[in-house]
């Protein structure tokens, strides 16, 4: 019997990239296979709509792409319930009860939401649904009573927000219906993979990503364009490894860290060219990505089957979410006619 419950999600705003892999997908597959977890993996299409309401095609087109990424990295529908947020009506009702337990100013203080509002250039026109998405995310997590949420570092404030809501709910209604979730973060330094352009975060919305679906040629092209040390012009110039994206990726992806240390020393001293290091990084990344890319291509041959997998997963997820909703309704006291 599983001792823990894991829930995690991705927004279907594009295909998944190697930042998702390092920040969350890799831990999910490990947790899925360790036997102590009941696993829920959600495609957060409602959350994606909060900043794409006028561009629903993007979400529709990304839904099966994200599902393919899941299957490609080894999420297994026989071991994990893989489902779609909009197909679980209970999540919306839970969100409404929770919204009454948070203040507007608390929502406005969320540092990740603040950064995203800037990045998305909403100005004064922040959609209300976007501002409250951490509350809806709390509904997603608590509907399944998840105690473990494998996520990247950008999600730390969301976990704190979720715990506050859980405590407020259980205190207010004098119950223990909801479970406090903990983030399950990757090892230090791997929780936020920078973008190819050196931007602090690789993101599907920032056009600076290596996708799990990228071909070997695309991988080559992207690695060759990567941001390095702009002052390292001649091979013999001493170069900087801090803030140098190529080395940051090697830190994360190369199992041979001794070799990475040697390369760094040589680069800092002078005498190691950017192209040489990039070629090496390309090999390291391809070793991780080639099997994922191949599996993805296999599953992509039958998209109907992928859609049916999501439909079945959603039916199963509804059963659990509806049970929690019943308990929440009883705790709040709106179960008048039971
Ligand atoms: P969007 O720009 O649409 O928000 P995103 O690239 O931020 O897309 P999400 O779907 O919001 O992706 O994030 C899904 C999961 O992947 C989260 O757990 C998040 O922490 C993790 N994640 C996303 N980008 C990175 C990254 N660059 N490094 C590590 N983890 C990441
Ligand atoms: Mg995001």
Q: What is the pLDDT of residues 173-199, one digit of tens each?
A: 999 999 999 999 988 777 789 999 988
State how far Cα 119 lies from the chain centre.
Answer: 17
pTM of the full predicted structure?
0.94
Q: Nearest ligand, CA of residue 155?
A: 1
Which one, of 258, 250, 241, 264, lies nearest residue 193 by Cα? 250
Residues 62 and 152 in one domain: yes
Binned at pLDDT 50, 70 and 90, residue 204 comes out as: confident
Q: Give a yes or no: residue 210 inside a domain.
A: no
Closest ligand 1 atom to the C-alpha of 13?
Answer: 3
Q: Give a yes or no: residue 125 inside a domain.
A: yes
State how far Cα 217 lies from the chain centre.
Answer: 25
Q: Give a yes or no: residue 208 inside a domain.
A: no
Residues 254 and 307 in one domain: no
Binned at pLDDT 50, 70 and 90, residue 1 comes out as: low
Residues 307 and 293 in one domain: no
Residue 4 phi, psi dihedral angles, 5° rounding = -125, 160
Lowest mean pLDDT among 79-88, 202-211, 248-257: 202-211
Question: Given ligand 1 and candidates 14, 62, 140, 203, which is best to mutate, with the most ligand atoms within 8 Å of its CB?
Answer: 203
Q: Give a yes or no: residue 337 inside a domain.
A: no
Residues 130 and 62 in one domain: yes
For 181, 185, 235, 270, 321, the CA distances from 140, given in Å and listed in that order, are 11, 18, 51, 51, 9
CATH of the domain at 277: 1.10.240.10
CATH of the domain at 179: 3.40.50.620
| Domain count within the chain | 2
Q: Which domain holds residue 13?
A: 4-192+303-332
CA distance 13 to 328: 31
Q: Is the CB of 152 under 6 A from ligand 1?
A: yes
């Amino acid at each position: 019997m599983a001792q823990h419950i894991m829930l995690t999600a991705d927004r279907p705003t594009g295909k998944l990239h190697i930042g998702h892999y390092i920040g969350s997908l890799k831990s999910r597959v490990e947790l899925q296979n360790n036997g102590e977890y009941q696993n829920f993996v959600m495609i957060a299409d409602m959350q994606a709509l909060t900043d794409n309401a006028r561009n629903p095609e993007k979400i529709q087109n990304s839904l099966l792409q994200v599902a393919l990424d899941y299957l490609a990295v080894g999420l297994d529908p026989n071991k994990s319930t893989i489902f779609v947020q909009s197909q679980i009506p209970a999540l919306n009702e839970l969100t409404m009860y929770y919204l009454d337990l948070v203040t507007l100013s608390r929502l406005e203080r969320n540092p990740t939401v603040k950064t995203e509002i800037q990045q998305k250039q909403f100005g004064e026109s922040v959609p209300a649904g976007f501002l409250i998405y951490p509350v809806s995310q709390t509904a997603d997590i608590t509907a399944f009573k998840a105690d473990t949420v494998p996520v990247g570092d950008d999600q730390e404030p969301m976990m704190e927000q979720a715990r506050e809501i859980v405590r407020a709910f259980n205190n207010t209604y004098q119950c223990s219906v909801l479970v406090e979730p903990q983030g399950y973060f990757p090892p230090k330094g791997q929780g936020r993979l920078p973008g190819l352009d050196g931007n602090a975060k690789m993101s599907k919305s920032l056009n600076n990503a290596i996708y799990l679906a990228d071909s070997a040629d695309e991988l080559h092209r992207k690695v060759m364009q990567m941001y390095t040390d702009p002052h390292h012009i001649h091979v013999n110039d001493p170069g900087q490894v801090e803030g140098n994206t190529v080395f940051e990726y090697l830190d994360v992806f190369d199992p041979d860290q001794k070799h990475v240390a040697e390369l760094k020393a040589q680069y800092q001293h002078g005498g190691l060219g950017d192209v040489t290091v990039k070629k090496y990084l390309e090999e390291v990344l391809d070793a991780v990505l080639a099997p994922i890319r191949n599996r993805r291509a296999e599953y992509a041959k039958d998209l109907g089957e992928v859609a049916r997998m999501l439909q079945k997963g959603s039916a199963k997820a509804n059963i659990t979410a509806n049970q929690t909703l019943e308990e929440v309704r009883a705790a709040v006291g709106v179960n008048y006619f039971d």
